[in-house]
Amino acid sequence: MDNQVTDNQTTNEESFEALFLASVSDEKQYKVGEIFTGTVIKVGKDYATVDIGYKSEGLIPLSEFKDADGKANVAEGDSFDVFLESIENEDGLIILSKEKADKLKIWDEIAEACENQEVIEGRVIDRVKGGLSVDIGVKAFLPGSQVDLVPLRNLDAFVGNTYQFKIIKFNKLRGNIVLSRRAILEAERSELREKTLEVLEEGCIAEGIVKNITDYGAFIDLGGIDGLLHITDISWKRINNPSEVLNLSDKVQVKVLKYDKDKQRVSLGMKQITEDPWKDADLRYPKNAKVEGHVVNLTDYGAFIEIEDGVEGLIHVSEMSWTKRVKHPSAILNLGDKVESVVLEMDKENRRMSLGLKQTQPNPWDILVEKYPEGTKVKGVVRNVTDFGLFIEVEKDIDGLVHISDLSWSSKPKNPHNEFKKGDEVDAIVLNVDPSAEKFSLGIKQLTTDPWKEIASNYKIGAKVEGEIVKITEFGIFLKVAEDVEGLIHNSEVDVDKVEDKYKEGDHIEATLLTIDANDRKLSLSLKEMTNEQREQLAKKQAAQASPTLGDLMGKFKGTEESQ
């Protein structure tokens, strides 16, 4: 009996020892922080019960099994790796995590990819300071400088897209991963460049993609190598900015204009693929032909008219109006206006065309010649008074000039500012109309008879004449003897030593006429007393000057013979 009790105690002690050793063995085998394979034995409302072969089961929240639609994708019998967070909570269960196991597995894969310089795929999930946040199973950082081959200002367009990357920095302990998309693009570009350089040559036609647009042109990616498409080589027509024709990422056909193999510089042209519109422009637009176009540019000196794409002509300000003095073309035309004009000159070689706007209308100056023949009396309004004369508006926008010499018959021209003012209505005589020079000459003095033509018949040498002193100078007295007729009494012909002692301006006095020169419009007078004999000598002198000489008669006779 005692022996049987002893045997039973020994057996129980052995079983307890076995269980204790098994328990100790389990604790050593299942360490917190390691990954184990687990199997789902039950799916509850909030948790899945998972067996990893330990003495107690573990719980995993169903939220760790949610798919893209937000549903828990798990069923009994599913097996997967789990992360052991802790052994036995207050309920005697172990705490497991599928998410942490997945992340640790991803970190291992990322570490291996970094070590082997492999390419990984990821999805850009957000814009962050300095770059982009990328999901590669865990969050990684993509610096802005590593997004593309050139730094980009707007990175928002990348959010939501999936790309391939290289890992350029990796720190598992800090959870820090830095990616580069640029490294992959550079490798692809380098490979593509070699292929492009093999076929690139001047004159060839290539396809490229608009990579960048500037004020002076666009850079075209030909496949690993960029070429410059200057703004002047984009289109035959005038453009102010390349963006009027091109957009980023556009596919374009270009011609290689220059290629420097050593510096790997390429100059491109788009317009050179099409025919030059100036090639037969002289045939399409001959001189004097009427053409239509739109105003594309206004300058101080004229307006540029686009006749067709790439063909422009200039209407100079002097060719805009027959009558108006156009200071700036904007007074007549506006940008975008549709204009009819006449071809004045065509220089195909230098790609220049001179156009005329006023030539589309009759020349009013030609009409003016017929309407106002020489000697016609006209009435007009003074539009401007200058030191050299008056501008009088005779027709709308047509002014005639009365030169200062045609204001008065007097040998001394009058000051226009003292005699006229703007807005005065005056009469005048047409002297000349010159359509080629666009000049309209008028005269005011011609309204009356030239008093000097009758001076010889009205005044005789030695006769007494009466007049008003209009001016006293150092050398004598000017005496007005008739309208626009003045004579000079030289100091040598004054009857006193000092003129001021006896005479002043405004005095009416009587003097003796000494000489008459109608051609030079000069009279000489004297205040000294004369004898009858002196008067007779003066009369004879005047008669001799008036009588034709033998030479005059011979010249007149010779001229008559030649005319016959």
Q: Which of 229, 235, 217 is nearest to 274 (CA)?
A: 235
Query: How much is the mean pLDDT over the chain?
Result: 83
Mean pLDDT of 35-53: 85
pLDDT higher than threshold 60 for residue 488 = yes
Name 412's Cβ contacts closer than 8 Å, sequence gap at least 6: 486
Name 251's Cβ contacts closer than 8 Å, sequence gap at least 6: 207, 208, 209
**3 state SS of 470:** strand
Are 467 and 541 within one domain? yes
Please report whether residue 536 resides in a domain. yes
Please report whether residue 254 resides in a domain. yes
pLDDT higher than threshold 80 for residue 458 = no
- Cβ(442)–Cβ(427) under 8 Å? no
- 553 versus 35: the higher-pLDDT residue is 35
According to the model, what pLDDT value does residue 555 have? Answer: 45
Place of tokens 């019960």: 49
Q: Which of 50, 48, 55 is nearest to 30 (CA)?
A: 55
Residue 478 CA to residue 469 CA, distance in Å, equals: 6
- Cβ(293)–Cβ(341) under 8 Å? yes
pLDDT higher than threshold 90 for residue 328 = yes
Are 265 and 286 within one domain? no
pLDDT higher than threshold 70 for residue 90 = no
Query: Cα separations (Å) of 65 from 77, 97, 99?
Result: 14, 10, 8
Please report whether residue 557 resides in a domain. no
Residue 142 CA to residue 82 CA, distance in Å, equals: 30
Are 546 and 461 within one domain? yes
Pairing of strands 439-443, 398-403: parallel
Percent residues over pLDDT 90 in the chain: 32
Name 263's Cβ contacts closer than 8 Å, sequence gap at least 6: none
Are 354 and 375 within one domain? no
Are 121 and 99 within one domain? no
Query: Cα separations (Å) of 349 from 39, 203, 257, 341?
Result: 88, 22, 20, 21
Determine which of 82-86, 91-95, 142-146, 538-542 has the lowest per-residue pLDDT on average.
Answer: 538-542
Domain count, the chain: 7
SS (H, E, C) 352-405: EEEEECHHHCCCHHHHHHHHCCCCCEEEEEEEEEECCEEEEEEECCEEEEEEHH
CA 337 to chain centre: 18
Q: Which of 69, 63, 57, 117 is nearest to 93 (CA)?
A: 57
**3 state SS of 430:** strand
Determine which of 154-168, 435-449, 526-540 has the lowest per-residue pLDDT on average.
Answer: 526-540
pTM of the model: 0.49
φ, ψ at 521 (rounded to 5°): 55, 55
pLDDT tens by residue, 260-317: 888 888 999 999 998 899 989 999 999 999 999 999 999 999 999 999 988 999 999 9
Cα R_g (the chain), whole angstroms = 55
Query: Cα separations (Å) of 297 from 300, 453, 518?
Result: 10, 59, 60
Length of the chain: 564
Are 376 and 439 within one domain? yes
Burial class (CB in 10 A: 0-12, 13-18, 19+), 430: buried
Please report whether residue 194 resides in a domain. no
Mean pLDDT of 425-454: 88
For the ranges 19-33, 42-56, 106-120, 243-257, the one whose mean pLDDT is highest: 243-257
DSSP state of 72: B
pLDDT higher than threshold 60 for residue 5 = no
Are 216 and 138 within one domain? no
Residue 377 CA to residue 442 CA, distance in Å, equals: 9
For the ranges 2-6, 390-394, 497-501, the one whose mean pLDDT is highest: 390-394
Are 456 and 441 within one domain? no
Residue 389 CA to residue 417 CA, distance in Å, equals: 9
Q: Which of 138, 161, 185 is the last residue of a domain?
A: 185
φ, ψ at 67 (rounded to 5°): -95, -165
State whether the Cα torsion 277-282-284-286 is positive or negative. positive
φ, ψ at 339 (rounded to 5°): -130, 140
Burial class (CB in 10 A: 0-12, 13-18, 19+), 175: exposed
Cβ neighbour number for residue 210 with a 10 Å cutoff: 20
Please report whether residue 522 resides in a domain. yes
DSSP string across 152-167? -S--GGGTT-EEEEEE
Are 130 and 106 within one domain? no
Q: Which of 133, 58, 137, 53 is nearest to 91 (CA)?
A: 58
Are 378 and 422 within one domain? yes
Q: Which of 465, 464, 456, 461 is nearest to 542 (CA)?
A: 461
Please report whether residue 190 resides in a domain. no
Cβ neighbour number for residue 160 with a 10 Å cutoff: 10
Are 350 and 377 within one domain? no
Place of tokens 């300095």: 130
For residue 290, what are the domain limits? Answer: 281-360
Q: Which of 218, 252, 273 is the last residue of a domain?
A: 273
CA 145 to chain centre: 34
Please report whether residue 193 resides in a domain. no
pLDDT tens by residue, 136-164: 878 889 998 889 887 788 888 899 999 99
pLDDT tens by residue, 178-234: 998 998 888 888 878 877 787 788 889 988 999 899 999 999 988 888 899 999 999
Are 470 and 518 within one domain? yes
Q: Which of 303, 338, 360 is the last residue of a domain?
A: 360
pLDDT tens by residue, 537-561: 776 766 665 544 444 444 444 444 4
Please report whether residue 558 resides in a domain. no
CATH number (domain holding residue 145): 2.40.50.140
